[in-house]
Amino acid sequence: MPSIRIATTDDQLRACYPVMVQLRTHLESQAFVIQAQRQMQCGYQLAYLSNSECVCSVAGFRISESLSWGRFLYVDDLITDAQMRSQNYGHQLLDWLVQYARQQDCAQLHLDSGLQRLDAHRFYQREGLQISSYHFVLKL
């Protein structure tokens, strides 16, 4: 039976890396652990779903507030291992995030997704998420 936990140790973060790097391909293992730990000091959390053999799916997220959305859970990263897709792991982790957001008195859950991630967009829409805005970037 799969279980979902929040990574708190370097070993747990390292176990999540093989899945996370499928989304964040620019990261190497040790840099990922260091950056995740630094972000965790500012509220970032990394939830992971594992079965008896390995980490199958990961989600980096944070709780925040804004004038436009009130209190919300923002998903920074959400990925299921390419070899584990279509086994309900992504659904289970997203459902866990929704429940966690409700427990934390969040009014909404938000995430951005790269334009190229068409399979992910279909998954999010199947899960009831709506495309609600454009996200603009200016690299400095």
- What is the C-alpha separation between 75 and 97, in angstroms, rounded? 9
Mean pLDDT of the chain: 94
pLDDT for 74 = 96
- 33 CB neighbour count, 10 Å cutoff: 20
pLDDT band for 124, please (50, 70, 90 cuts): confident
In the chain, the domains with their CATH numbers are 3-126 (3.40.630.30)
- What is the C-alpha separation between 25 and 34, in angstroms, rounded? 16
pLDDT for 23 = 94
pLDDT band for 20, please (50, 70, 90 cuts): very high
pLDDT band for 57, please (50, 70, 90 cuts): very high
pLDDT at 3 over 90: yes
pLDDT for 140 = 95
Mean pLDDT check: name the lowest of 34-48, 85-99, 115-129. Answer: 115-129
| SS3 assignment, position 61 | strand
pLDDT band for 114, please (50, 70, 90 cuts): confident
pLDDT for 56 = 97
List residues bridging with 72 in a β-sheet. 64, 108
> What is the average pLDDT across 55-83?
96
